[in-house]
Every structure is written in C-alpha cells, then in structure tokens.
Amino acid sequence: MRGANIMSIFFHFILFFVIFIIVLELFFHRLLKNKDKDIKGRKLNIFGILMELDDLTILALAVLIVRFLFLIFSLIDSNNVSEVHLLILTIFAVVYTVASRNIKNLFIEGVSTVAMYFGLVCTRLLYGYIIDVRVEWYVVLGIVLLFLFILFYSLFFLLRNINEVVGKSNYVRRIRNEEKDD
C-alpha cells in the first residue's frame, strides 16, 4: 500500500508539472511573438541570465523551480501529505546544495525544508479538522493564512537561492560591472 501511495503522489505531481510547463510554454510563446523592441530588450535581459551557466548551475536552478512547484502541488493536494513529501523535499535540498557547490547552506536548507514540511502537515491537520469535525470560519482563515505563509516563505527561499546561484555567473557579474561603470 505504501508503494501505491508514493506512485500516486508522483503521478499527480508529474501531471501537475506537465500542465504547468504547457501553460508556461504558451505564455512565453505569446510573449516572444510580440515584435515590440522595448519588450525584446527586456526579454534579452531576462533570458540573458541563463547565458554562460555551467551544467551544475542549471541543475541547481531546475531543482529550485521543481521544488517550488512540488510545494505548491503539495499545498493544493494537502490531504495526502506524508513522510514521502519530507523525503522528496530533503532530496531536493541536498541536490540543490551539492549542485550549487555551497555545502555551508546545507543546514539552512535543512531547516527550511523541515519548516516547509511542518507547514504542510499543519495544513493537512486543519483540513482534516474541517472534513471530520465541522467547518469553522477561524479554521478556514487559519488554512488560508498558513497557505499564504508557506507560499511566501517558499517564494522567498526560491528567489534568494536563484539570486545566489545566478549571482555567481561570470556573465551576470560582467553585466553588473558594466552597469556600475555607466
């Protein structure tokens, strides 16, 4: 039964991830279709961040984004939160730390992972209270506030880690130095 639960989580997450990628692709296709030169310059700045990145840095960025999407998926499907989620979030944290070549941040990533998992478990418990006992307005408010807290907490770590990883890039450092000189 445990293996079926793990496979169910992976299947639903992969389905969620594929739908997200299709929506993202359609959004960027629409954005790139626009011929406005001002937008074209901004697009070059946005996509230019990914220039000259090595494979481990790209892996670190991919793991960060997939971890964030997994957390969003887990919040949406919080009735099925289990220890498997902690394991998956821990694997993401370790892979990111190794790929970003910053082992000193392993403790911070571990604490962040435990905090995210604890938030997911609290959300699951509150959902269980609503389903098993009764719907109370303060419990619903607690779920909404907890959902927003986890969302902003994970978004903060996502953006902080992306800034840390991309900031090490030679291309980004060169652009920053050129902007300082101007």
For the stretch 131-155, pLDDT in tens is 888 888 888 898 899 999 999 999 9
Lowest mean pLDDT among 69-83, 90-104, 149-163: 69-83
What pTM was computed for the model?
Answer: 0.77
Q: What is the DSSP letter of 139?
A: H
Q: What is the mean pLDDT of the chain?
A: 79
Q: How many domains does the chain contain in total?
A: 1
pLDDT above 80 (res 29): no
pLDDT higher than 60, residue 36: no
Residue with tokens 């694997």: 91
Q: Lowest mean pLDDT of 35-39, 44-48, 162-166, name the range.
A: 35-39
Confidence of residue 170 (pLDDT cuts 50, 70, 90): low
Q: How far is residue 74 from each of residues 64, 154, 160, measured CA to CA in Å?
A: 15, 12, 21
pLDDT tens digits along 38-78: 444 554 455 566 667 777 888 888 888 889 988 888 888 77
36 vs 34, which has greater pLDDT?
34
- Structural domain boundaries enclosing 81: 2-181
Distance (Å, whole) CA 182 – CA 177: 9
Q: What is the band of 25 on the pLDDT scale with cuts at 50, 70, 90?
A: confident
Residue 35 has pLDDT above 70, yes or no: no
Task: Give the pLDDT mean for 123-130.
Answer: 87
Instruction: Give the per-residue pLDDT at 1.
Output: 42
Q: Are 99 and 162 in contact (CB under 8 A)?
A: no
pLDDT band at 8 (very low <50, low <70, confident <90, very high): confident
